[in-house]
Structure 1
Amino acid sequence: MQIGVFAKTFPGSEPAGVLAAVRDAGFAVTQFNLACAGLPSTPDAVPDDVIRAIAAASDASGVALVALSGTYNMAHPDNAVRDDGLRRLKVVIEAAAKLSTPLVTLCTGTRNRDDQWAHHPDNADPSAWADMAREMEKALQLADRHGVDLGIEPEQANIVTSAQDAMQLIAKMGSKRLRIVLDPANLFEQADAAQARAIVAAAIETTAGHVAMAHAKDRFAHGCVATAGQGVVDFADFIARLKATGFDGPLVTHGLSAEEAPGVARFLKGLL
């Protein structure tokens, strides 16, 4: 299991400086965002010189790129917005292939027009799932063409809210390219330590064999997001259960400051 961090945790728009900061904080891998190369997260194009700069920075720092962010609102109520998001996702998938980055992460979306991470009551309408599933089918065609996997993350505010939802979507899509990013803090909103442990354990059991990457974010009992190790998530149990399923992929932390990053790296390494 490799310990990593979101590249966007660190300031800067030059890949060399950002990935050096990732390394210096104690991380071996990163989930990269094209914003760290001076572009929008999902740009209209990624010039070849930017690809070369990212690859050179990865080589120089020794930090491997295990995922690239390609999130857009796959359930936005406006079809034109979804079409534009898919067009930009194609650019990200092509960049991932050029960088030999195996995974592009997605957001299964929300009916909220203004924030792809915000809940909307219409998320429960079957039409929201149907729109998202159609987007996912198109996205998987692009991924298969370029030999890249797609990672979806169960998230309370999105269409796919649970491990069960994620497995249902994987079954419907029928593609080995569709994988799961498992973030324990996104599996619940409010829970005490015992409740959180039970929810996370059940999710690991449900998704066993389908997890491409785990996230290390925490949550306080009252619901606010916390830095890993400061909330109710039992990370020792989380890691042990992942290992028991045979998972040996990246564990990537986020939701923390650059100043907190070295301490979180030490915390997570101590649990391996």
Structure 2
Amino acid sequence: MSDLAPRLGIFARTFPRRTPAEVATAVAGAGYALAHWNFAAIGLPTLAVDVEDARFTEVRAAFDAAGLAIPSVSGTFNAIHPDTGLRRRQTEQAVRLIELIGVLGADVLTLCTGTRDPENMWRAHPDNTDPAAWNDLRRTLDPLLDAARAAGVRLGVEPEHGNVVRDAQAAARLLAELGDDAPIGIVLDPANLLTPHTVARQDEIVGEAVDLLGARILGTQAKDVVESGYAAAGAGLMDYPALFAQLDRVAAGPMIVQDASEEDAPRVHADLLRWHAEAAAR
């Protein structure tokens, strides 16, 4: 197994601060080598609306000074929002963000594949399975893919139960339709594929996802399954040493911690390194 420590990161917005330098200091203080950047960490819009180009340079300088890297940037918005005008505006904003993430040193922009729920882009809606929802996702992706190709970066899609790409099968379908040369891949969060009722089948379910998506997995996320939603890794029902054994079958990429509190972030870091070592020793 490849060394996890230099690939282990956390959502920058775990540490909300006034300046990028303060965020970077907090990330480094918790032990992480990487941060998934979101402008919300410094109180600005995720899609960097009205954020001057110079702020991107400021973020990069702050993380460089702290010895940290930014592998990916959040560009989440509701890609199939029922308000077509809002969807069009946010797509245009995401295109600009794609054009600028290279300034941060990142090569992946993460997306939300969307829901027909107009209030919460992570909440499931019965119309998400309608063919029209899939078609709207494809229309939204077209200009984003063009921008990513021109910028030499990739889009990262995360299978999420409440979204159009709700599971590994839907993710595989999207990749197949777009083709092997499309600048898009998968950010795999194994917890999104599990529930308290299915977590006993973790090896089977995660194994199937790795079989379907392995070559296109850009990186992973780490959180845990609990009786009501999600929690920090180690606070729930998942078997992380077994998970690391499955992930060893794909190319080593960043693992980004999600749903950890600032106070719990150092513990999650230490536990993930320990579980990874346990898996390597098996």
TM-score (norm 1): 0.95
* 8 Å CA contact 1:37, 1:50 repeated in 2: no
* 8 Å CA contact 1:110, 1:123 repeated in 2: yes
Tell me which amino acid in the other structure corresponds to 1:162.
Answer: D
2:186 corresponds to which of 180, 183, 191? 180
Residues 1:94 and 1:46: Cα distance change in structure 2 (over 3 Å)? farther
* 8 Å CA contact 1:46, 1:91 repeated in 2: no
- Inter-partner Cα distance in structure 2 for 1:40 and 1:77: 21
Identity %: 38
Partner in structure 2 of residue 167 of structure 1 = 172
Partner in structure 2 of residue 206 of structure 1 = 212
- Inter-partner Cα distance in structure 2 for 1:156 and 1:41: 22
- Inter-partner Cα distance in structure 2 for 1:65 and 1:100: 6
1:79 corresponds to which of 84, 87, 93? 84
| 2:101 is aligned with 1:93 | no
| 2:23 is aligned with 1:18 | yes
Q: Which runs of 5+ in 1 are unaligned?
A: none
Larger CA deviation: 233-242 vs 102-111: 233-242
Q: In structure 2, the residue corresponding to 1:113 is in which secondary structure?
A: coil
Q: In structure 2, the residue corresponding to 1:86 is in which secondary structure?
A: helix
- 1:53 shift after superposition: 1.1
- 1:192 shift after superposition: 4.8
Q: In structure 2, the residue corresponding to 1:73 is in which secondary structure?
A: coil
Partner in structure 2 of residue 224 of structure 1 = 229
- 1:85 shift after superposition: 1.2
1:62 corresponds to which of 67, 73, 78? 67
- Inter-partner Cα distance in structure 2 for 1:52 and 1:139: 22
2:149 corresponds to which of 144, 148, 163? 144
1:9 corresponds to which of 14, 28, 40? 14
* 8 Å CA contact 2:14, 2:261 repeated in 1: yes
- 1:225 shift after superposition: 0.8
Q: Which runs of 5+ in 2 are unaligned?
A: 277-282
Tell me which amino acid in the other structure corresponds to 1:52.
Answer: T
| 2:259 is aligned with 1:255 | yes
Partner in structure 2 of residue 109 of structure 1 = 114
Tell me which amino acid in the other structure corresponds to 1:179.
Answer: G
Q: In structure 1, the residue corresponding to 2:236 is in which secondary structure?
A: coil
Tell me which amino acid in the other structure corresponds to 1:268.
Answer: L
1:239 corresponds to which of 240, 244, 261? 244
- Inter-partner Cα distance in structure 1 for 2:89 and 2:160: 23
Tell me which amino acid in the other structure corresponds to 2:245.
Answer: A
2:269 corresponds to which of 261, 265, 268? 265
Q: How many residues align?
A: 270
- 1:268 shift after superposition: 0.8
TM-score (norm 2): 0.92
* 8 Å CA contact 2:16, 2:43 repeated in 1: no
Tell me which amino acid in the other structure corresponds to 1:180.
Answer: I
1:30 corresponds to which of 15, 27, 35? 35
Residues 1:183 and 1:47: Cα distance change in structure 2 (over 3 Å)? same
| 2:206 is aligned with 1:196 | no
Q: In structure 1, the residue corresponding to 2:248 is in which secondary structure?
A: helix
Tell me which amino acid in the other structure corresponds to 1:265.
Answer: H
Q: In structure 1, the residue corresponding to 2:266 is in which secondary structure?
A: helix
- 1:196 shift after superposition: 2.9
Q: In structure 1, the residue corresponding to 2:71 is in which secondary structure?
A: strand
- Inter-partner Cα distance in structure 2 for 1:187 and 1:138: 28
- Inter-partner Cα distance in structure 2 for 1:80 and 1:18: 34
* 8 Å CA contact 2:63, 2:69 repeated in 1: yes
Q: In structure 2, the residue corresponding to 1:84 is in which secondary structure?
A: helix
Post-superposition CA distance 1:221-244 (Å, at most 9, x none): x34212101212221122221112
- Inter-partner Cα distance in structure 1 for 2:113 and 2:263: 31
Post-superposition CA distance 1:10-33 (Å, at most 9, x none): 121311010111011010001000
Tell me which amino acid in the other structure corresponds to 2:218.
Answer: A
